[in-house]
Amino acid sequence: MTIRAGVRTPLPVSTLTAALAAALTAAGAPQPASIGLVLSDDRELRSLNRTHMGEPGPTDVLSFPLLPAEAFPPHDGRARAAVEAAPSAADIPAPAAFVPPGRRLYLGDIVVSVERATAQALEGRGGHSGDTRWSAADELRLLAIHGVLHVCGWDHVEPAEEAAMRDLERRLLG
């Protein structure tokens, strides 16, 4: 985990680490695996959003997966077309086979704007529906979980995918 200079997290690192681990397990990530989390601010997310998504302005979380969605077990949070086109599990090489002994498979990175998370929470624009007023700590935990699920091939473009992803996020939030 990287916390950029000047960024203050409203949540203990141990709590965020536990949330990431639970999300990786729930998403069916290969074991052992690791993921990067960068806690940043709106300035960095604005730049990343423009560069990688072609969108102006800051966003709350961006995910940068290193494996295709098909490398993870099938789930309801993946587009039906991707599920139907995906090779069977027997056709996908075990990711751990490409990792040297004693090392972890690196799945990708998540970058969260703690500044945006805090503002969304305090302004009542947080949560799954964008209309929840709760603590900045809860919003940060949700965004970290959301980012992990994206790295693990989950999406929310189609209504069924979104419902499945939101359901898993709610369960992980407890």
Question: pLDDT of 127-155, one tens digit each?
Answer: 877 788 889 999 999 999 999 999 999 99
* C-alpha neighbours within 13 Å on the C-beta side of residue 167: 9
Map out the domains of the chain as residue ranges: 2-173
Report which of 7, 35, 22 is spatially closest to residue 116, judged by C-alpha positions. 7
Given CATH 3.40.50.720, say whether it is the number of domain 2-173: no
* Residue-by-residue pLDDT tens, the chain, 174 positions: 999 999 999 999 999 999 999 999 999 998 889 999 999 999 999 999 999 999 999 999 999 999 998 888 887 776 554 545 445 444 544 444 467 777 889 999 999 999 999 999 998 888 877 788 889 999 999 999 999 999 999 998 889 989 999 999 999 998
Give the pLDDT of residue 133.
83
Q: Where are the beta strands (DSSP E) in the chain?
A: 2-3, 33-40, 61-65, 105-113
Give the pLDDT of residue 79.
54
Q: What is the reported pTM?
A: 0.86
Cα three-residue angle 17-19-23, rounded to 5 degrees? 120
